[in-house]
Amino acid sequence: MFALILFAAFLVIVLAGIPLMFGLLSTTIGAVFFTDPRFSIKIPNILLTFLSGIEPYMLIAVPLFIFAGEILAKGGAGRRIVGFTQSLLGFLPGGLGMPSARW
């Protein structure tokens, strides 16, 4: 029930147009406040933990992967890679499914 209330509060904050970072931060502080009413955890510790969790090192992989896919699609390299794989494995049953199968 507590998680549902937190998710609903986060959803309301985001739908209100507040940036995602502040929505996550406010629900995090709210969760800490409701689970520890004495509020013995210091705000700077919460902020540092929050910011260390959203460092962009892994998050940058998603747009770069999309960018690489666009380069492959627009440049024609994707068609050439598929054609090469088709020429190597096209005669086998399964054809192009063979490179993606995990043994």
Axis crossing angle, helix 2-15 with helix 20-35, rounded to the nearest 10: 150
- pLDDT digits over 34-92, tens only? 777 676 777 777 777 767 666 666 667 888 889 998 988 888 888 888 788 888 877 77
pLDDT of residue 56: 63
Q: Any residues with CB less than 8 A from the CB of 22 and at least 6 apart, and which? A: 13
The per-residue pLDDT for 32 is 76
CB atoms within 10 A of CB 22: 11
Q: Would the pLDDT of 31 be above 70?
A: yes
